Amino acid sequence: MQVFMLGFQLSGVLNLKAVHETNVYAVTTGCSKQRLPHVLTVAGSDSGAGAGIQADLKACAARGVYCSTVVTAVTAQNTVGVQGVNIVPERFVSEQLQSVLSDMNVDVVKTGMLPTVGIVKALYDRLKQYPVQALVVDPVMVSTSGDVLAGPSVLDTFRDQLLPMADIATPNLKEASALLGGIRLQTVSDMRSAAKSIHNNMGPRNVLIKGGDLPASSDAVDIFFDGVEFYELRSSRIQTRNSHGTGCTLASCIAAELAKGSQMLPAVRVAKHYVETALDYSKDILIGNGLQGPFDHLCKLKRNIRNSSKPQRFDPDDLLLYAVTDSRMNNKWGRSITDSVRAAIEGGATIVQLREKDIETSNFLEAAKKSLEVCRSHGVPLLINDRIDIALACDADGVHVGQSDMPVHVARSLLGPEKIIGVSCKTPEQAHQAWVNGADYIGSGGVYSTNTKANNITIGLDGLKTVCLASKLPVVAIGGIGPSNVRAVMELGLENLKGVAVVSALFDRECIASEAQNLHTLVSETMKATSVFHD
Ligand SMILES: Cc1ncc(COP(=O)(O)OP(=O)(O)O)c(N)n1
Ligand SMILES: Cc1ncsc1CCOP(=O)(O)O
Ligand SMILES: [Mg+2]
């Protein structure tokens, strides 16, 4: 995937300035105009505006990305179903593609309803003529109401032309089955095999099989395969009729994140989180009389108002890869706190703690506010080390305190019942007290010796095991942990040992994102192998 080259097609005309090494949110021109990341959606119009072009526009707007549109068909549809389809002639689809691609500096193309072989071919030809940084193919074949939107004749052209060009294909179970000649997909293991077959036989660089329709599953399980690793991505199944357009929205959100410069797996994770949040927010809205209602893509605009007193709930699985910042390391590598937080999250960090011992309060608060924006946009909780005042001032998701910091019960009374509180524990007694005092998790270590925290007592794997066995709370291991020893930690195989917290293994390295990605894989693979993976 070449999405990181974003914007370079303009070089020579504009004075380009990459805002982040792999994450170009905007590019500054010579006359300080800003260029927005740009997704082109090639899809059908949904008159009910729950799915199709309309969903794509709203999803991109919600993700802060410009979206242009090439309409392939106009459907008459509502919450009951599809009453009519009027296909746009292929030459006019081609003309629209030419208009947008020749002029508007598209970063990522996302496809939805492509109802005829001619339209798929027209798109293929235009993409050859005007290459883009990434292609997201949502192989839409059947609407949520069960109406057929692309016939079997299109399948061959999908397989032969479009999928080999795709950076990611996002079929649901029915679509994956159709692409593979009608095989039955009923289990997560079937989904893995299907993802591998589509990847190996049809050529997309990544495959996401959406398991929303999987029978007998309480979670929504998707399988992501990048050609090497499988990732089981789970989110809670939201009980709602308002799920029309989730597929289009997910694919558009992936495209939007790619256009902003994200790598593929983080883009998929962010997209899933966004869809889950929007579905949850919209579960009780009532639009139309049919069985499939639309949801509110722009809920985030209202979320802060509606839920200002109800911050994020703590999920112990968020402890999987816990990134703890350190300004000395950031200074050494010439990085801002926000940039390093963003890179850690892009690589797969699942929770972030700002541990800033040497900066002034006003600078700390400023950095915390900016980091919180980054974390919120990725659905990753942000905690503050030691400083309850900073956590309160920026409305962070919680704090981490040590045995000689603010006592947990006082922090709890200041922060309220919903904020996350973590506490450092080296002994079973401390672990018990943390639970009594209302902490949400404990950090236990140093497991190995470390240069990051002076004079810290090392408790070793045995000490960690003793604390975990005594603790009623989830535990994250900390201290001297990196790629060489993280397996040994997670191989303890203790049910409440949920992950590792790392400082230097991320922030004292050249590429934070790739270190995070590697550690994330090592932790989750070891957890799976020791059968304590509770994704
Ligand atoms: C996740 C996690 N665990 C332990 C610590 C250490 O906290 P503390 O004992 O307060 O020491 P300092 O970090 O304040 O030096 C942590 N920060 N995070
Ligand atoms: C904050 C802290 N608490 C116990 S060990 C430690 C430092 C961990 O840093 P590193 O991951 O670089 O060893
Ligand atoms: Mg402390």
pLDDT, one tens digit per residue, over 238-282 is 888 988 999 999 999 999 999 988 889 888 988 888 898 888 888
* Tens digit of each residue's pLDDT (9 = 90 or more) over 8-20: 222 222 222 222 3
Helix (H, G, I), strand (E, B) or coil at 414: helix
Distance CA(124)–CA(107), nearest Å, equals 16
Distance CA(222)–CA(57), nearest Å, equals 24
Q: In the structure, what pLDDT confidence band is assigned to residue 217 with cuts at 50, 70 and 90?
A: low
Check pLDDT > 70 for residue 30: no
pTM of the entire structure? 0.57
* Tens digit of each residue's pLDDT (9 = 90 or more) over 201-212: 999 999 999 998
DSSP secondary structure letter of residue 162 = I
pLDDT of residue 314: 86
Q: Which ligand is nearest to the CA of 507?
A: 2
Tokens of 62: 């919600």
Contact by Cβ (8 Å): 25, 31: no
- Residue 74 Cα to chain centre, angstroms: 31
Q: In the structure, what pLDDT confidence band is assigned to residue 27 with cuts at 50, 70 and 90?
A: very low
The closest of 221, 518, 508 to 347, measured between CA atoms, is: 518
Query: Is the Cβ atom of 446 under 6 angstroms away from ligand 2?
Result: yes
Number of Cβ within 10 Å of residue 472's Cβ equals 11
Number of Cβ within 10 Å of residue 317's Cβ equals 16
Check pLDDT > 50 for residue 310: no
Check pLDDT > 90 for residue 137: yes
* Tens digit of each residue's pLDDT (9 = 90 or more) over 286-301: 999 999 899 989 876 6
Q: List residues near ligand 1 (CB under 6 A).
A: 322, 324, 353, 355, 385-386, 400-402, 405, 422, 424, 443, 453, 476, 478, 501
Distance CA(417)–CA(385), nearest Å, equals 18
The closest of 170, 241, 229, 244 to 204, measured between CA atoms, is: 170
Residue with tokens 């992936």: 254
The region of weakest confidence among 195-209, 266-280, 379-393, 463-477 is: 266-280
Contact by Cβ (8 Å): 363, 336: no
Query: Is the Cβ atom of 486 under 6 angstroms away from ligand 2?
Result: no
Distance 359 CA to ligand 3 centre (A): 15
Q: Kind of pairing, strands 219-225 and 230-236?
A: antiparallel
Check pLDDT > 90 for residue 21: no
Catalytic residue among 412, 419, 453, 498: 453
The closest of 268, 259, 267, 262 to 104, measured between CA atoms, is: 259
Query: Is the Cβ atom of 502 under 6 angstroms away from ligand 2?
Result: yes
The residue nearest atom 8 of ligand 1, judged by CA position, is 402
CA distances 410 to 406, 413, 414, 415, 438, Å, are 7, 5, 6, 9, 10
DSSP bridge partners of 400: 385, 422
Q: In the structure, what pLDDT confidence band is assigned to residue 24 with cuts at 50, 70 and 90?
A: very low
CA angle 419, 423, 427 (to 5 degrees): 150
Ligand 3 (ion): which residues have CB within 5 A? Answer: 386, 402, 405
Q: In the structure, what pLDDT confidence band is assigned to residue 31 with cuts at 50, 70 and 90?
A: very low
* Tens digit of each residue's pLDDT (9 = 90 or more) over 90-117: 999 999 999 999 999 999 999 999 999 9
Q: In the structure, what pLDDT confidence band is assigned to residue 358 with cuts at 50, 70 and 90?
A: confident
pLDDT of residue 39: 98
- Residue 25 Cα to chain centre, angstroms: 16
Distance 344 CA to ligand 3 centre (A): 21
pLDDT of residue 238: 84
pLDDT of residue 5: 31
Helix (H, G, I), strand (E, B) or coil at 313: coil
DSSP 440-462: SEEEEE-SS--SSSTTPPP-HHH
Element (H, E) at 202: helix 188-202
Catalytic residue among 355, 387, 426, 498: 355
Mutating to test ligand 1, I would choose from 364, 423, 424 the residue with most ligand atoms within 8 A of its C-beta, which is 424
Distance CA(111)–CA(132), nearest Å, equals 13
Q: Which atom of ligand 2 is nearest to the CA of 508?
A: 12
Query: Is the Cβ atom of 445 under 6 angstroms away from ligand 2?
Result: yes
CA distances 91 to 87, 118, 126, 262, 423, Å, are 11, 9, 11, 34, 64
pLDDT > 70 in the chain, percent: 88
The residue nearest atom 9 of ligand 1, judged by CA position, is 402
Distance CA(364)–CA(387), nearest Å, equals 10
Distance CA(512)–CA(321), nearest Å, equals 13
The yes-or-no answer on residue 355 being catalytic is yes
Distance CA(274)–CA(364), nearest Å, equals 28
* Tens digit of each residue's pLDDT (9 = 90 or more) over 119-136: 999 999 999 999 999 999
Query: Is the Cβ atom of 452 under 6 angstroms away from ligand 2?
Result: yes
Mutating to test ligand 2, I would choose from 453, 458, 464, 489 the residue with most ligand atoms within 8 A of its C-beta, which is 453
The region of weakest confidence among 260-274, 368-382, 493-507 is: 260-274
The yes-or-no answer on residue 504 being catalytic is no
